[in-house]
Amino acid sequence: MEMNDATEILLKTSEGRRALAKNSISFFLSYYLGLDIDKHHEEWISRVHIKRLHYEAPRDHGKSTIFSFGYPLWLLYHVPNVRTLVVSRTGGSSGVSTKVREAIIEEMKTNNRLLEDYGKIITKEKGGNIWVKRTKRGIKDPSLESVGVGGSITGGHYDFILVDDLIDPSNSRTQTMRDYVADWFNGTLMELLEPDSQIIVVGTRKHWDDLYKYILDNKLWNSYIDKAIIRYPDHYEIIAPDEETYEDMTFEEADRRGGELKIINDVKVYVEGDYEVLWKEKWDIFQLLYNKYDIGSILFNREKQNDPSGMQGKILNVEWLQFYEKKDLPNDLIVYQGVDLAISEKETSDYMSICTVGYSPSKQIVYVLEFWRGHRTFPEQIGMIERFGNKWDPIRITIESNAYQNAMIQYHHAVNMLPVVGSPTTKDKTTRMLAISPQIENGKILFNRDIPYYENFEEEFVQFPYGAHDDTLDSLEICVRPIFQVGQIHIGDWSTGKDVAGEKGWFSI
């Protein structure tokens, strides 16, 4: 809010400050709540008069602070007899919407500036909900209430419904989940609106066919989409410490080329030309490009650009695959294997698949050394694990652990002492593939077209998640689990490393 002589006078008294806050939500948020209000926040706030308002905002750009915390507080202090409902993806005692409601109430009780200028306005608390001072009698509904998706709502109707991050990966992954959310939103939540009520829905896209897509297509809603990177630079480079050009890119070289350079966690981010970002004070172009490099294009476009199109159809890009030559294999490879077991030996069923990789601590790169897949009985699968284990002498063989697979793990522990470890699978295949996709896209996992069954792997890769098979792809993901942890390379005890490039009968069986 711009300062002038009149504003300076009003700031000197409680009455004056309350008048400023009533006429300016931005002033209320900055003066009373101490929030830094950026240009894009001002733009959001300028539209809160719209009855059906939908914002798709990048993750971590302040949407929840503005719409779930700041705006409800402003309503409670400035709209007589207000009935406000805060909605998020989870409710209950530990749910997101409950925590938001509790944070609002705590602010009202402890914020000295609010208490000094407005006094204590809460008149009643019950069941976690609150009532504030009112000018009308007979209004029974709480002034502030909260609920999560699918939750029961005790109140009758509301003047303001503020919906924040209703959609997350868990409730948008399948058509059944998406239909459930949409039915609850339309059949329960929208029915709580009165003719003059307002509803604001803010969030970040998670699926190309989620509830937000329905709202975007609905002409009764006013929808706005913000992207973290409004305009990409003309040219940019992300240079990791293990890349050959790392030492060549210096601040002097960046100046010579007419660009800018910034180093983030030892990664060099170089940009040339004009660009524009939504919130440069927090997420400048360097941080955003580094984030894209870190989590991969698919998730970055979804989380920061509100573009879930990469989740539609084939989500893995064959152009990400990068390759190495046998002669370039380093001598410090540590061998890992991953096994995707098959319950049935029928020719039409899933394959058993084994992936073998070598990890180079010096280069921090995974080299895929071999794939194998086939239909085998349970005893034959035992033999295949033993055969490949003896061939490559890995320090770890990872097998997905369920009842059937646990029997396989226990056998190898008891009989042949191979380093077999069970790894429970707690997420769906798409989520697991997205987790390793940045490593593939950024050249941290390299392939060789001459290894056995590579063509099968590439076919599964380009057709995922709609291909007939994904067993080879699964075995790769299982194999690299102990190497990559939360997007970072896990460095353990490498003293047992072996020179697999020269001694192991490379690529043959």
Question: Could you read off the pLDDT of 390-446 as tens digits, one per residue?
Answer: 999 999 999 986 645 556 656 655 556 788 888 877 677 888 888 899 999 999 999
**CATH code where residue 164 lies:** 3.40.50.300
Domain identity same for 355 and 388:
yes
Q: Do 159 and 39 share a structural domain?
A: yes
Residue 115 and residue 220 in one domain: yes
Residue 5 has pLDDT above 50, yes or no: yes
Strand 129-132, strand 122-126: pairing: antiparallel
- Mean pLDDT over 471-500 rounds to 63
Average pLDDT, the chain: 87
Structure tokens at 183: 């039915």
pLDDT of residue 488: 36
Rounded distance between C-alpha atoms, residue 422 and residue 405, angstroms: 8
Domain count, the chain: 3
Domain hosting 303: range is 230-310
Looking at the fold, whether 434 and 306 belong to one and the same domain comes out as no
Top-confidence residue, 151 or 220: 220
Residues 365 and 304 in one domain: no
pLDDT at 459 over 50: yes
Closest CA to 70 of 7, 21, 112: 21
Choose between 239 and 496: higher pLDDT.
Answer: 239
Bigger pLDDT: 370 vs 408:
370
Last residue of a domain, one of 194, 226, 258: 226
Amino acid symbol at 6: A
Residue 80 falls inside a structural domain? yes
> Is 509 inside a domain boundary?
no
With 80 as the cut, is the pLDDT of residue 47 above it?
yes
Neighbours of 12 (CB within 10 A): 9
Last residue of a domain, one of 251, 278, 310: 310
- pLDDT-derived band of residue 349, with 50, 70 and 90 as boundaries? low
DSSP E strands, 309-405: 322-323, 334-340, 352-360, 365-374, 396-400
pLDDT: is 461 or 201 the higher one? 201
202/253 same-domain check: no
Instruction: Output the CA torsion sign for 478, 483, 486, 487.
Output: negative
Looking at the chain, the whole-number percentage of residues with pLDDT higher than 70 is 88
Answer yes or no: do 401 and 443 share one domain.
yes
- Residue 334 forms part of a structural domain: yes
State if pTM tops 0.75: no
More confident residue, 485 or 273: 273
Residues 219 and 239 placed together within one structural domain of the fold: no
Q: Does 330 or 413 have the greater pLDDT score? A: 330
Across residues 30-49, what is the average pLDDT? 97
Q: What is the dihedral of CA 104, 110, 113, 116, to 10 degrees?
A: 120
pLDDT of residue 140: 84
Cβ-in-10-Å burial (0-12, 13-18, 19+) of 74 comes to buried
Give the whole-angstrom CA distance, residue 245 versus residue 413. Answer: 46
Residue 394 shares a structural domain with residue 293: no
226, 257, 292 - which closes a domain: 226
Q: Is residue 91 part of a domain?
A: yes
In the predicted model, what is the mean pLDDT of residues 283-305? 94
**Domain co-membership, 54 together with 104:** yes
Residue pair 236/272 in contact (Cβ under 8 Å)? The answer is: yes
Same domain, yes or no, for 396 and 481?
yes
If phi > 0 it is left, if psi is from -120 to 50 it is alpha, else beta; for residue 198 that is beta
Task: Give the closest residue to 144 by CA, choosing from 154, 466, 401.
Answer: 154
Q: What percent of the chain has pLDDT over 90?
A: 65
Average the pLDDT over 452-459 and give the result. Answer: 88
